[in-house]
């Protein structure tokens, strides 16, 4: 799946990345039927205590989440079920805006993959 999010030039891109990555992970876990509701009750990134509880829960289901700077990989019993790649950015200019601050904006380009996406596509 690919997607684009438009951001103000001065927006905190790291925060938006973390939110999108969290949303992706949560969606995959829900799709797999992992009972995360008690641990993760909002779309916000998890705090340290929640992460520890989630890691314990995921271990009991044979799920590993490998998250480094470039990508997040979700494995179930060693098999790859999802990948979230670090987004890339394009600086854009909208000349229709009146002020220079509003003319510049960022395109955040997302690319991720999941086994569930493929299953949905084959069902259609």
pLDDT of residue 116: 84
Model confidence, pTM: 0.83
pLDDT of residue 90: 93
pLDDT of residue 120: 53
pLDDT of residue 96: 86
In the chain (124 residues long), the average pLDDT of successive 10-residue segments reads 87 89 92 92 84 94 92 95 95 84 88 80 49
- In the chain, the number of structural domains is 1
Whether residue 36 contacts residue 26, with contact meaning beta carbons closer than 8 Å, is answered with: yes
- What is the distance between the alpha carbons of residues 63 and 81, in angstroms, rounded to a whole number? 10
Domain that holds residue 64: 2-123
pLDDT of residue 124: 44
HEC string for 6-44: EEECCCCHHHHHHHHHHHHHHHHHHHCCCCCCCCCCCCC
- Nearest CA-CA partner of 23 in 110, 119, 124, 104: 110
pLDDT of residue 119: 56
Alpha carbon 104 to chain centroid distance? 25
pLDDT of residue 41: 82
């Amino acid at each position: 799946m690919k997607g684009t999010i438009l951001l103000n030039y001065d927006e905190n891109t790291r925060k938006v990345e973390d939110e999108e990555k969290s949303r992706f992970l949560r969606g995959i876990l829900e799709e797999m039927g992992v009972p995360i509701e008690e641990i993760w009750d909002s779309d916000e990134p998890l705090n340290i205590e929640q992460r520890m509880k989630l890691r314990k829960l995921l271990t009991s289901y044979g799920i590993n989440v490998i998250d480094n700077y470039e990508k997040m990989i979700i494995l179930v019993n060693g098999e790859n079920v999802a990948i979230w790649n670090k987004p890339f950015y394009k600086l854009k200019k909208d000349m229709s805006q009146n002020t220079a601050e509003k003319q510049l904006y960022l395109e955040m380009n997302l690319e991720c993959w999941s086994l569930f996406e493929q299953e949905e596509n084959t069902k259609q």
